[in-house]
Amino acid sequence: MDHSSNTPAAVGEMPPGRPLQTEFNDGLDYPRLGNVTFRRGSLTDNQQALFAEHWPRLGRVLEDERIDIEEWFGRSGAKTVVEIGSGTGTSTAAMAPLEQDTNIVAVELYKPGLAKLLGQVVRQDIDNIRMVRGDGIEVLARMFAPESLDGIRVFFPDPWPKARHHKRRIIQSGPLNLFASRLKPGGVLHVATDHAGYAEWIDELVEVEPTLRYRGWPWPECPQLTDRQVITKFEGKGLNQDHVIKEYLWEKRPQ
């Protein structure tokens, strides 16, 4: 499908006005997204040219339309993993060639980060990465069908360290329920953090979602690649500061 007709004039930009948020009324805790906006950032001339040429094929922006994965990637039968908060895409691009049988959808708010990932995809001719610009919760809720994903990855999410901001953390009961709803039975949720306070927070939530079975770390029989193979710049900063990286794996329970 040619999505260029759906794309705003400024490639990769949201239409004017902030999109309405999905309503969650299940009594679960969801991040408060009222002040979330698209982070601004300028692109180089080369990045602008790459966006103009390649984004209509490789990228989409948040919208109320389910993604047809097979049509977008041009193949059927492949596994599909969504990475929430892909940043500049360093680990995304490094992992993708090791997972040729997997469709990778990188979700990120920050346009310069997506531009860097797009550049890597084009230069390295990586054919199993697509990108969505938008908030991860909104993208999952509005653009992916229930039980359509084999995996969801949340690597080094914003820890929101101040207590008054903890309600903005993405790992809490509501998102875990949403993640589980989008995973196929047997699908994998993989989370990593190097923030000790956030790790303690997650430790309290590993059993909160009944449809997810917590597998801990490591999980040798995990059906997905879990070794990211490269130390991303985020991990490198953490290691330099003697931070401990803690990883979590859950499996969607069979029905």
Catalytic residue numbers, as ranges: 158
Strand partners, 248: 191
Round to whole Å and give the CA distance between 182 and 18: 24
Closest CA to 48 of 3, 16, 8, 10: 10
Sign of CA dihedral 82, 86, 89, 90: negative
> Helix, strand, or coil here: 104?
strand
Question: In the chain, where do the E strands start and end?
Answer: 59-61, 79-84, 102-108, 129-133, 149-155, 183-193, 212-214, 246-252
Sign of CA dihedral 181, 184, 186, 189: negative
Round to whole Å and give the CA distance between 143 and 242: 38
